[in-house]
A and B are shown apart, each in its own frame.
Chain A
Amino acid sequence: MSKLTGAEIFIESLKREQVEVIFGYPGGKNIPIYNLLYDNPFKHILVRHEQAAAHAADGYARSTGKVGVCLATSGPGATNLVTGLATAYMDSVPVVAFTGQVDTKSIGTDAFQEADIRGITMPVTKHNFLVTDIKDLARTIKEAFYIARTGRPGPVLVDMPIDVLGARMEFEYPETVDLPGYDPDLTLNGDRLERAAEVINSAKRPVIFAGGGVVTSGAAEVLRELARKARIPVTTSLMGLGAYPIEDELSLGMPGMHGTRYANYALCEADLLIGVGVRFDDRVTGRLDAFAPKAKVVHIDIDPAEINKNVETFISLVGDAKEVLSKLLPVVEEIERKEWLAQIAEWKRKYPLAYKDEGPEIKPQAVVQELNRLTEGKAIVVTEVGQHQMWAAQYYNYSYPRNFITSGGLGTMGFGLPAALGAQVGREGELVIDISGDGSFQMNVQELATISEYNLPVKIVIINNGTLGMVRQWQELLHEKRYSSTILQNPDFLKLAEAYGIKAIRIDDKNQLSEKLNEALEYAGPVLVDVSVAWEENVWPMVPPGAGNHEMIGGEQDDK
């Protein structure tokens, strides 16, 4: 058997993992890999900042369900990945990040472009490795992919010193992994399943709370069957949007801080809460002692550490959401629950999501609604973070898993544009819209170059209110409108897009909203749309920080 270099082993190993694309950026300590990428063993997308490489790999992974791969050099290249890894970690996204490192002899000497990226990323990765011996390289790559995609998925980093990439070794890719401390195959306790079914069957006012775990495990279909069979209303967390069709009569939309009133009312009155693939984030629960106060909690999650972490659980079912729901499906009974569903229908009728579309200005909610109408709710929507993210969550009718891509846990501004380009690479030929804010957009604006170079037909829609709107909203409500550092002086986004060779459209006339959005969506290549919207519009309803979900304010139909 002929010997391969470490860099060649890297390429061969990634082929074995069926990697289709790498998002990366070259530098001094990964040159041997780039030397091989020159011959195109697989697609490489050259981003313009390593943070974008991590977000693009993340967007690719979320939109396809495959493992996303990114590559950076040592030192600053590696540290630039950190925000992207933390984002993927909080939202349980399978990403494998590879970094070059200074040669093993120089590690610890503060060599040029040296950073302890293993140490730095320990708290923001599911696991990470520093490969100091060529004989460990193939096995480590195998383990990295295995850990990233199994169990509760998450990012894994592999740090590769340059002398390891240059050393030679016979290549053999292991068939199996041997990780005695890692066992993602959890066997479900049958007793508990029966008890859970009993509790569900005897509940008068049950609610299913579905999260990102439903999307990840591909459980959307069985969730639908179960909810419809047992007639249980479903609320979906931000990460779970798309896991249950929003227009369904049993759908409650999103709960929590900017959730629907009817979802929060249902949670307040429920006698049983069935959490599936959720981690009871504080943005959902509000003040914990006021969260679902009358409900027993059945918690289904793949991560045992999530059980009883934030909310006390009555019955826990640890396992893959799809597997657990499939086992529950035959044992839950068909029950009409007429009274409860009538109550819910009443709340939905009385307290729909609402805003006042009056005055000459374009309302941001209307932009999202129009996008929903024009795309029939079928686009892949990616967002940045802030007000526009919440409007995108509220006013677009998601019906398909993996079609809503947003940084939920970490709340990373600048996520959307690179994640959208990653999603577009993963879902070629499908419509990808980055619903953006004028603040967030500028945090990874350099990715316009990547989108332009690869002609990725992402539609960027900037909901432009000239402010860091979410912080401004809090300043308005909690700090006497002292708009400290939240009013932005923005560049001309059209000229900016055009400088990158990207078509740009401005919308500042309400009457042209539909027509011009349609023009953007119909255009074959990438487009940037800059929509000027009412600048002091707020996201309603809102559960004020520290309050209970029943104390939400704003957003009623007859609000002034």
Chain B
Amino acid sequence: MTSKRILSVTVANKPGVLSRITGLFSRRNYNINSLNVGETENPEYSRMTIVVDADDRTLEQIKSQLDKLVEVIQITELDRTNIVDRDLALIRVNSSRNQRSEIIQIVDTFRARIVDLSTDTIMIEATGTPSKIEALIEILKDFGIIDIVRTGLVALNRGVVE
């Protein structure tokens, strides 16, 4: 049984690292759902949040194979019940003047924000768990979605870490 698993991977901040990681996934036929990379508190390291679709045995393989990469410093599988996870989306939807207030209501309900407005479109910024973003997108479909861009998941463990 495969399921979505979240890996938090600390890597050396060196050229070519992203290519090594994605190359490993494609070569070994592992499936990436989303991958997000950014600097950490230490400029020498970056942190990747990788969401994969895998069963237990494949996940063990992915972790072991990643661990063999010289520039991978640490791999942690995040426990979904004890993390803060966020996805950010920018969504542009059609909006005639008389639809605007309805959209604003929806946006308020989801605690999202209007970040741009034109005569017949609205751009919405939404932050939250992937399921919240999905729900928002689903509702906005009625108005006609023009563009979506999403960061993919970022996540950290809750509480104090060693």
- A interface residues (Cβ-Cβ under 8 A, vs B): 118-119, 122-123, 126-127, 130, 147, 179-182, 303-305, 307-309
Contact = CB atoms under 8 A, between A and B. Distances in A.
24 contacts: A118-B16, A122-B16, A122-B19, A122-B20, A122-B23, A123-B23, A123-B27, A126-B70, A130-B16, A147-B70, A179-B70, A181-B12, A181-B70, A181-B71, A181-B73, A182-B70, A303-B68, A304-B64, A304-B67, A305-B61, A305-B65, A305-B67, A308-B60, A309-B61
A178 to B, nearest CB: 11
Contacts, number: 40
B98 to A, nearest CB: 52
Nearest to B66: A305
A25 B75 CA distance: 41
B64 A305 contact: yes
A105 to B, nearest CB: 16
Which of A123, A127, A181, A304 has its CB near the most chain B CB atoms (within 10 A)?
Answer: A181
Contact of B70 (A118, A119, A127, A303): A127
Given A119-B19, A130-B15, A180-B12, 18 more contacts: A122-B16, A122-B19, A122-B20, A127-B69, A127-B70, A147-B70, A180-B73, A181-B11, A181-B70, A181-B72, A182-B70, A304-B64, A305-B64, A305-B65, A307-B64, A308-B57, A308-B60, A308-B61
Contacts of B16: 118-119, 122, 130
Contacts of B12: 180-181
Contacts of A122: 16, 19-20, 23
Nearest to A127: B70
Interface in B35-65: 57, 60-61, 64-65
Query: Chain B interface mostly helix, strand, loop or mixed?
Result: helix
Contacts of B70: 126-127, 147, 179, 181-182
Nearest to A124: B27
Nearest to A123: B27
Contacts of A130: 15-16
A182 B27 CA distance: 21
Interface in B16-35: 16, 19-20, 23-24, 27
A119 B17 CA distance: 11
Contacts of B68: 303, 305
A34 to B, nearest CB: 28
